[in-house]
Amino acid sequence: MGRVNFGGVVKRVCLDYVPEIEVGDYTIVHVGFAISKIDEETAKQTLEDFRAMGVLDEELAGEEEAFARAAAAPQSACPDGSCAGESASQQVSKSA
C-alpha cells in the first residue's frame, strides 16, 4: 500500500501491480489500485482533462460528500426500472 496525491487529495492505493513505482513517480489508479506508471506530462494532462470534464471532484469526493450527492440525486422507487414504465436504460440516462 502507498499514498497517492491526486492533485491535492491524498488517498491510500494498492501498489502491488506496479512494483517498479517509487516515491515521486506518477501512476494511473483504478478503483484503488495503481495499474500503470506514467510520465509527469501525461499525469498533468490527465488531471487537467478530468477537471475539465467535471469528474475529478466527483471521483475524489470524501465519503460524506459522496453520500450527500447520492441523497440529493433523483430517486426511483424501482432502481432497476421495472415499474412505472421505466426501462433500465432510461434510469441510467437520467442519473448520468
pTM across the whole model: 0.56
**CA separation for the pair 29, 39 (Å, rounded):** 14
Q: Find the domain containing 20 and state its range.
A: 2-95
The DSSP code sequence of 54-70 is T-HHHHT--HHHHHHHH
Q: Is 94 helix (H, G, I), strand (E, B) or coil?
A: helix
Q: Could you report the per-residue pLDDT of 35-82, keeping only the tens digit for each?
A: 999 999 998 898 888 888 877 766 666 667 666 767 777 776 666 666
Q: Is 82 helix (H, G, I), strand (E, B) or coil?
A: coil
Q: Quick check: 95 pLDDT over 50?
A: no
pLDDT surpasses 60 at 90: no
Q: Which helix (H) or strand (E) holds 3?
A: strand 2-6
Contact at 8 Å (CB) between 18 and 1? no
| Per-residue model confidence (pLDDT) at position 19 | 94
Percentage of the chain lying above the pLDDT 90 cut: 31
Domain count for the chain: 1
Looking at residue 8, which CATH number applies to its domain?
2.30.30.140
